[in-house]
Structure 1
């Protein structure tokens, strides 16, 4: 059964059982700073499970189903074996809210319906052998009782089925961050022909909330839940019961296509074959390196499509790390030149029907991959020589990884991986010490450079806001500020973008800024909550620094109170700024250049 048919069977089954199909959300969680990337199907439904949003209003239903794009960074180092991968697709069905009562109130469902739905799909719709399936339930712990209800339902629906009981470590799901909805779960486990067991489908009975000690609740709904609910070993009962299930498409494809590894399924095989062809190893190359490249380029394509750019922090570092790891393993397969573009194209071809955004963003995806490969490729050979020299050096069993990171751009994890293969260990404490020293030097340099007065740099600061908004208008909403330096008479603006701007794009951005200057728009300062700023679509760099503040400063270019649609720019910022855009006089872009992989830099000025 090909992957397209598996997808359709799953969605059709749940639609037939009253569910509404919800498209996958982005790999970059919207409005949720608690997680780096989307790791589960339930993340986009979290507000509904907490009672903060109404599923009936937004989806017209409380029974929902989706195939969600997910990425788990915890599996990066494990990729290379027969089963682990970073990017995956999660088949899920969800119920938001309590089941119907005798008086007809409620429209959701809980264990009584969730367990039969899963069992009948696997054994009925897909025809899996019931004898190969066993399940597990929550044995109880930390004040939460054993799941007798799930046990009874399984015994009724699947007489004679093997039921194992485990504690919180194995049979209590979530939350993916330090706080959020969670609950006991029931795992459906399938025994492969080889005798290996694989966890196929996880049914989570989401009825608890775990909060962070000492931290304020993020919403009135959660505050009420904490106040009114009975605490159970650090957990509180949610005001409603929810169902959250997740089944990996890749594992299901492995079973239905009767393959030994996920990399042999039609979700991976064409990508592996493309790499094999480039490496000219005719199936004889190191399977670990082939799998790592296939997985990492697949994950990279989807991350870039969802707006992630290679950086040295956060999500951008995840992307940079997997791209550079793929490049390194290309060298280990004796691929001498740049090679990632063809596997990237194969990923887009393989998934374009399911995810049309890959088609729309193909040029951008390939440009980011190409630039990162060229940037790292130039120093890779030198870096490998230096690494070899370092590994053979007199340091003993501890390897100093900082020079490789600082000079050659080697991610710490790559050095650790290669050193480990030689029986050596990276001196991580020394690495962190040198990295902090470097950061402190940078902070000192910034303090020394801050000589200009507020009045002198205000025009350049406002011009930088106008430029940022103009670039997002001309190039697209995936563009975000990545850094800025203000001086008297000019400024530097760094932003996320995967290629060099054309002369036409630069002219359009410059013209748009000058247009807004001539419109004499007011620059309005407002004190708002962080949540309100996010709802307004405000731009910000490193929003983590704002967490915990009751109020943040938001600058609008264009008066938000006029209702005339004049607002051109909205950014979280401490100032200073001019009062009206006409004070800028004229705007000019001086030059544009690369500032790093996936980062462009513009030097510009407001001529007052």
Structure 2
């Protein structure tokens, strides 16, 4: 019997709803206020603040399906297992239940006929074997035995397999992984992940945040223990159906069928088709969460995925516009699961088509640039009698970076001219570029902040007051279009069609300084996004925020509300030491968008 991915997803959430878990929506792919990564890469990532003690507005029992992107193994996409986009199912206890109830619920969901109804004989588990840093997890092992798992199906494995830690210090604890038999027939006696690792595939992991590591030698029990579990839908679907490849599941068969129809049986290449199917799936979700193709940060990854997909189509001899046709399959597949897909369906198709058209032009320009390099070699031969035989890595990277020219195409064209490409030099140039991108990403902070110094935080609060002042003076058509804040100044882009007058700038300054001088206080609340919209909370880029949002309110002692806006913080708690606000420049940023630069002086 085929087990569909949609059934796994819906049954999982339905099951945990019966166990008094609040079903929370997926956070967007782009993390809120976490500049250390470009995308959410794990189910637990958006919930870290709550696992570390911050109260969640929906309670202590949560369950969700989280969208994730990982591109570290992008070159392996096309094999049987690697993907760039995946979905993680998870249930969470924030200081509520612990090992016994977590393990019991996992077992019930997997084996009860009302839910997945798996054969218990096909399941084995692992627990932490203990080491000099932490004790053996006999508690979990005894719970597994108590619910019916035979002792020979329980493997004790080391920390590298069964220990989770947030970092060198902080919350940590053992985990217990659940595996499904992938071998022929029933598993033999004494077969488990420890004795027979190749025949068991992980389907679920229960992490028990039990300890707080103070230092290398000190581990203390946490006062409020948490549970964090994760089950990948794609891996679970392929494993439970005993398929060889994730691309054989219902998640990918429709798109691969469409690609085969598009290119024809004779030119169809399975690996190329898989890369297209994976990359357009990821691109569809990225665009739905507000990412657009660019040459930096998330946009750089998106552009690379789309252009890789186009290149794979070209390798199969197909040069027409096609990405939106593949995306339509994924829109249909996910629009009832993730609201952002349905809400942004037209944007998804438009961005994909635009990027295809752009790349068609850069491909042609790139070929011209390549031919120019070859002509240079011919000129060198005429002058010196020596013909260069290798294209420098830096030139190959220019073709890639400036013209979006895939390295593989440069190598293929070079081969036709009896030339080689300095791939090592290309990789060095690429790594240098990536280091610059990572440095830029690491320099970002909450809400466009360059850092979290007192000066920067004060300017961030002034930014909120200024936006409120702009809306008061210019009208409610004004919204944020971008910001960048350093300790020295704020730069703020906003929607407005014309240059501000001196009187308008002065009125905005007075609005901000009046709030500062009166001594506003900042408060934070959490509420559903739709409720925030209904209450008139100011915000831009709503699609990038989760369904539960943080709202910062700046209020005078007499109850006057100066600003109420979506934000991730941080802000001053009181305005006493902010200084005097001054607009130093107001200018055009782009069509329909103005830019202000401003300072605070004491």
- Category of TM-score, reference length = shorter chain: 0.5 to 0.7
* Number of the residue aligned with 1:37: 39
The one of 490, 505, 510 aligned to 2:497: 510
* Number of the residue aligned with 1:166: 157
CA contact (8 A) 2:391 2:421 kept: no
CA contact (8 A) 2:182 2:200 kept: yes
* Number of the residue aligned with 2:427: 428
Gaps of 5+ in 2: 185-197, 378-387, 415-419, 438-462, 527-536, 541-551, 572-578, 598-602
* Number of the residue aligned with 1:326: 309
**Count of aligned positions:** 501
CA contact (8 A) 2:207 2:229 kept: yes
CA contact (8 A) 1:390 1:399 kept: no
* Number of the residue aligned with 2:110: 122
Cα distance in 1 for residues equivalent to 2:219 and 2:428: 36
How far is 1:238 from its partner?
Answer: 3.5
Answer yes or no: is 1:207 the counterpart of 2:223. Answer: no
Deviates more, 1:14-23 or 1:242-251: 14-23
* Number of the residue aligned with 2:86: 88
The one of 403, 409, 418 aligned to 1:408: 403
CA deviation digits over 1:477-525, x for unaligned, max 9?
Answer: 7x535899xxxxxxx9989xxxxxxxxxx8xx31697796596553449
How far is 1:9 from its partner?
Answer: 1.3
Against the structure 1 CA distance between its residues 325 and 418, is the aligned structure 2 distance closer, same or farther, given a 3 Å change threshold?
farther
CA contact (8 A) 2:469 2:511 kept: no
Cα distance in 1 for residues equivalent to 2:126 and 2:293: 40
CA contact (8 A) 1:139 1:166 kept: yes
* Number of the residue aligned with 2:18: 16
Cα distance in 2 for residues equivalent to 1:323 and 1:353: 24
Against the structure 1 CA distance between its residues 535 and 123, is the aligned structure 2 distance closer, same or farther, given a 3 Å change threshold?
closer
How far is 1:243 from its partner?
Answer: 0.7
Structural mapping, 1:133-144, within 5 Å: 133-141=123-131, 143-144=133-134
CA deviation digits over 1:139-171, x for unaligned, max 9?
Answer: 234612222222222233312452233322222
The one of 137, 155, 164 aligned to 2:145: 155
Cα distance in 2 for residues equivalent to 1:366 and 1:482: 30
- TM-score, structure 1 as length reference: 0.67
Against the structure 1 CA distance between its residues 208 and 289, is the aligned structure 2 distance closer, same or farther, given a 3 Å change threshold?
farther
CA contact (8 A) 1:493 1:602 kept: no
Structural mapping, 1:63-462, within 5 Å: 63-97=61-95, 108-124=96-112, 125-141=115-131, 143-156=133-146, 157-175=148-166, 181-192=171-182, 197-209=200-212, 226=214, 231-233=215-217, 237-257=221-241, 259-281=243-265, 285-383=268-366, 394-395=389-390, 401-410=396-405, 424-430=423-429
CA contact (8 A) 2:16 2:63 kept: yes
Partner SS for 1:52: coil
Against the structure 1 CA distance between its residues 173 and 313, is the aligned structure 2 distance closer, same or farther, given a 3 Å change threshold?
farther
* Number of the residue aligned with 1:447: none
How far is 1:602 from its partner?
Answer: 5.7
How far is 1:416 from its partner?
Answer: 10
Cα distance in 1 for residues equivalent to 2:333 and 2:178: 29
How far is 1:354 from its partner?
Answer: 0.9
Cα distance in 2 for residues equivalent to 1:109 and 1:323: 44
Partner SS for 1:45: helix
How far is 1:314 from its partner?
Answer: 2.5
CA deviation digits over 1:400-454, x for unaligned, max 9?
Answer: 54322343134789989999x999544433556699999xxxxxxxxxxxxxxxx
CA contact (8 A) 1:293 1:330 kept: yes
Cα distance in 1 for residues equivalent to 2:268 and 2:253: 15
* Number of the residue aligned with 1:216: none
